[in-house]
């Protein structure tokens, strides 16, 4: 795994953490110290693949990005984008499949904030609730709408439902209707 670092117009692609630290140490404004060095080493050794940004002063940052690109040109052309847990499988993201029409049975899973009365105090509180339902629908969005309609008739109106495009709603196509 290589590291791409950028501070304003200074940038570098390195394959070792020591090279990255040396690059940052050459920039006086950053002020390399043992804590920052250890944090960069921990980031490089971790399984985290999102970019990390470090504050130099108010509204001024430098950024570190893990990449599989071997050259700066490959990185700039996004030829070595990390594919995550999917590996070589290229499946369309859930958001793209949400409106794809496929009539049949769907299983929808939703995590939402449900308003419940606390018996001892008479006050209300939000509680994380996991809900799974199977329904006939024509798309993932239709499945989402049917689940929200069903729940909104049965829970307190102040309950909060997630976006269909968010991580708290998942759906799976089960098959054709009989």
Name the residue among 88, 141, 152 with its Cα closest to residue 115.
Answer: 152
Where are the alpha helices (H) located in 70-139, listed in sequence order?
72-76, 94-97
pLDDT band at residue 83, thresholds of 50, 70 and 90? low
Query: What is the reported pLDDT for 87?
Result: 45
Place of tokens 């969005």: 141
Average of per-residue pLDDT values in the chain: 86
Query: What is the reported pLDDT for 50?
Result: 84
Measure the CA–CA gap between 120 and 97, rounded to whole angstroms.
Answer: 45
Average pLDDT over residues 127-146: 92
Asked whether the predicted pLDDT for residue 68 surpasses 90, the reply is: no
Asked whether the predicted pLDDT for residue 144 surpasses 90, the reply is: yes
> E-assigned strands of the chain?
2-7, 10-14, 52-57, 60-67, 104-117, 124-137, 169-175
pLDDT band at residue 86, thresholds of 50, 70 and 90? very low
Query: What is the reported pLDDT for 78?
Result: 76
Asked whether the predicted pLDDT for residue 80 surpasses 80, the reply is: no
Instruction: Kindly list the distances between the CA atom of residue 177 and the CA atoms of 95, 132, 136, in Å, as whole numbers in the listed order.
Output: 23, 19, 7
Query: What is the reported pLDDT for 137?
Result: 92
């Amino acid at each position: 795994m290589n590291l791409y670092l950028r501070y304003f117009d200074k940038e570098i692609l390195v394959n070792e953490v020591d090279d990255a630290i040396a690059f940052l140490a050459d920039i006086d404004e950053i002020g390399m110290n043992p804590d920052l060095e250890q944090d960069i080493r921990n980031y490089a050794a971790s399984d985290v693949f999102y970019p990390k940004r470090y504050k130099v002063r108010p509204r001024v940052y430098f950024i570190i990005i893990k990449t599989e690109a071997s050259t700066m040109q490959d990185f700039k052309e996004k030829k070595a984008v990390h594919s995550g847990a999917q590996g070589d499988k290229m499946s369309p993201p859930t958001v793209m499949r949400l409106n794809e029409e496929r009539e049949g049975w769907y299983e929808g899973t939703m995590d939402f904030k449900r308003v419940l009365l606390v018996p001892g105090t008479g006050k209300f509180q939000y509680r994380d609730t996991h809900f799974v339902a199977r329904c006939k629908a024509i798309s993932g969005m239709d499945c989402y709408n049917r689940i929200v309609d069903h729940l909104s008739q049965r829970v307190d109106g102040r309950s909060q439902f997630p976006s269909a495009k968010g991580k708290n709603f998942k759906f799976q196509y089960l098959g054709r209707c009989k």
